[in-house]
Structure 1
Amino acid sequence: MFQLIARQVRGGTLSALLASAALMIPALPAFAGQTDSYTLPQQSYNQSRARNYKVYVPSNVQSPAPMVMALHGCKQTNNDVLNDWGLKAAADEYGFILVAPFITSYDGLRNENCWGFWFDHHRHEGAGEVEDLHQIAQAVEANYTIDANRRYITGLSSGGAMATVASVAHNEYWAAAAPASGLPYGEDSASVSLSGQCPGSATFHSVSRVSSDM
């Protein structure tokens, strides 16, 4: 192969060779939008922390735009949300502003980067992680023109459970929630199995209790 390339280069066909090589490179998705990085400072209410978050704005977005907040799962970051979930392509296609918070730091016994959906101080309006998420959404609205009737939240695994928490705690704010592989509102640490099996030793609340908690 090297000899073939060398003969072609000496024969004055370098430009043709480069053009042929370019055709063999697989096309990568092109995102014409812009990603901005922000930090929500720690707030004065209980259990607030500084939170990093990123906002992806498609180039063709119309105002006012829908907003979709997407929460990463355990052992993930908001970069996984932006780069691996296909949501930037969806934002380009459907014209919504994508918000990807990062838990950044956290308290209590939990796996890496898990949202604290089972902690009582993180799942009620006015405190903790769920209020930090609400404040991030409001900060986005202060910087971008968002349609107040089309605010949505989703997430994966612990992010899915936290999306459920957010939609309950601030049900007047979010138009809809779409948790993926999450848990119902009000579940506690017993719902998370550490046995390595699925569902393993996990136990779950009754439907009537979930309904009452909500």
Structure 2
Amino acid sequence: MKLNFLTQMREAAQQIISKGIPLQRGAPKAPAMRDINPPPPSAAPSTPEPKPAPEPARPQAAPPAATPNPATHPAEYAQDILNRMGISVDLQANLDRAIDFGTLLNPSPAQPLPEGAQFVSGSYVNHAGSRNYKLYIPASYHGQAMPLLVMLHGCTQNPDDFAAGTQMNQVAEEMGCFVVYPEQTANANHSKCWNWFNAIDQQRGQGEPSIIAGIAQQIIDEYPVNERQVYIAGLSAGGAMAVIVGTLYPELFAAVGVHSGLPFASAQDLPSALSAMKRGMQGAAKAGNGSQPIIVFHGDSDTTVNPVNGEQVMAQRLHNHRGARPSVQSGAVPNGYRYTQTTHTRQDGTPLGEHWVVHGAGHAWSGGSASGSYTDAKGPDASREMLRFFRTVS
């Protein structure tokens, strides 16, 4: 809604400029009015009026401020146009009332924990930078070795929101698993998206992949993690980054989960990222050695990330397994969506991957809770299915 309004304002301004109508700051001045009823002339000759004293020279007006760039400062551009048209509206104040940006960036408070469980904060730093994270320690933990799942949130989200929406902590509580949620910063990306489309963030030992892998290793060093059961999963930009990190560090992660994500190295900059999101990767490259199982969820009504990306993620992983045997089954969630699950296995029956297409679902975590953002409870439970899949491949 905000973007549509700004677009309309921009188009209106461009039309005004194209017609040659000058834009002025403030309200337009009214033309000087003539006295249409002058007093009748007096019979007596009037005394000549003295000449008015010359007005002091007015200071020269300052040059008008430069028009903000609509591509980088759309709100400021729209406000400038309103000012020039003499419309007294505080656009930012109205937008702030219409959209609570604090709620958008931090949609939900931390959820209550089971007795004995912990959701603790930590941080990690290396040569590429630093990131905070939150680690869920289930109540069933009493010093024994447990699996570890790294969960990468989507744009505008944070660990508390992502945990609340996916309900992964509740499933991990049942299955006995550590879950760590790295947090992207607004300094690294204005919308708190993981930078999956930057070349530096697609290289081992560099950028965000090195930080995320470093967080996983730090948890392994501090807790008794079963190192053969370390997994990574994510949503949207987090799903795309999960593919990258899993591909770059196959010795660390035993399997990958991708929800509404994109293939490895599917973009090298922002324009190619937008193209991949809209149409899929052009000429999907092969990635990985095929030994790392993967589970993919995608709604076939997703208008943010084209569902073809889910197919391309699977194709990247299965390129070394042309003899894999796919099996297809369909199902439906009671009072919810239908889905198609395609399972790929090796000749000996061990799992290679699962591809879940949720029919009618959009860009949201399937089976998630409304207590978090970007969730849709009408789909199959992606959190439970991912942890179930991870346990079968270890």
Distance in 1 between the 2:158 and 2:280 partners? 27
Letter aligned with residue 118 of structure 1: F
2:145, 2:224 within 8 Å by CA — same for their partners in 1?
yes
Is the alpha carbon distance of 1:126 and 1:211 closer, same or farther for their aligned partners in structure 2, counting shifts above 3 Å? closer
- Give the TM-score taking structure 1 as reference length: 0.74
Say if 2:119 is the partner of 1:35. yes
Name the structure 1 match of 2:192.
113
- Which residue number in structure 2 is paired with residue 140 of structure 1? 219
The equivalent residue for 1:206 is: 283
Q: Distance in 2 between matches of 1:199 and 1:152?
A: 25
TM-score calculated relative to the size of structure 2: 0.42
Q: Paired residues, what number?
A: 176
1:104 to 185, 194, 198: 185
CA distance in 2, matches of 1:68, 1:80: 17
CA gap 1:192/1:74 in 2 versus in 1, 3 angstroms = same
Q: Of residues 187, 196, 199 in structure 1, which corresponds to 2:266?
A: 187
Q: CA deviation at 1:105?
A: 4.5
Structure 2: unaligned runs, 5 residues or longer = 1-110, 289-315, 318-394
Q: In the alignment, residue 227 of structure 2 is paired with which amino acid?
A: A
Match for residue 82 of structure 1? 163
2:140 equivalent to 1:60: yes
Q: 2:51 is matched with which residue?
A: none
Say whether the 8 Å CA contact 1:73–1:156 is kept in structure 2.
yes
CA deviation string 1:26-82 (max 9, x = no partner): xx97523101101112x12xxx12100010000113621000000000111111122
Q: Following TM superposition, where does structure 1 have runs of at least 4 consecutive aligned residues deviating by more than 3 angstroms?
A: 189-194, 210-214
| 1:124 equivalent in alignment to 2:207 | no
Q: Which structure 1 residue ranges, 5 or more long, are not aligned?
A: 1-27
Contact preservation (8 Å) 2:262, 2:277: no
By relative contact order (CA 8 Å, sep 6+), the higher-ranking structure is 1
Q: Which amino acid is the alignment partner of residue 175 of structure 2?
A: Y
Q: Structure 2 CA distance, aligned partners of 1:168 and 1:154?
A: 12
Letter in structure 2 aligned against 1:73: G
Give secondary structure in 1 for the equivalent of 2:231.
strand
Residue type of the alignment partner of 1:80: D
Amino acid at match of 2:135: V
Change (3 A) 1:66 1:199: closer
Q: CA deviation at 1:211?
A: 4.3
Residue of structure 2 in register with 1:157 after alignment: 236
Decide whether aligned partners of structure 1 residues 76 and 143 sit closer, same or farther in structure 2, where only a CA change above 3 A counts. Answer: same
Q: Which has the higher helix share?
A: 1
Q: Is the 8 A contact 1:74 1:111 kept in 2?
A: no
The structure with more radius of gyration: 2
Measured after TM superposition, the shift of residue 205 of structure 1 is 2.4
Cα pair distance change 1:40/1:118, threshold 3 Å: same
> Are the structure 2 counterparts of residues 30 and 54 from structure 1 closer, same or farther at C-alpha, using a change threshold of 3 Å?
closer
Could you tell me the percent identity over the aligned residues? 28
Q: Distance in 1 between matches of 2:282 and 2:187?
A: 25
Q: Do 1:190 and 1:204's aligned partners in 2 also have CA atoms closer than 8 Å?
A: no
Question: For the residues of structure 1 that align with 2:112 and 2:181, how far apart are their CA atoms?
Answer: 19
Contact 1:31 1:88 in 2 (8 A): no
Give CA-to-partner distance per residue, 1:151-200, whole Å, 9 cap, x none: 00000000000000001010111000011100000111345439xxx965
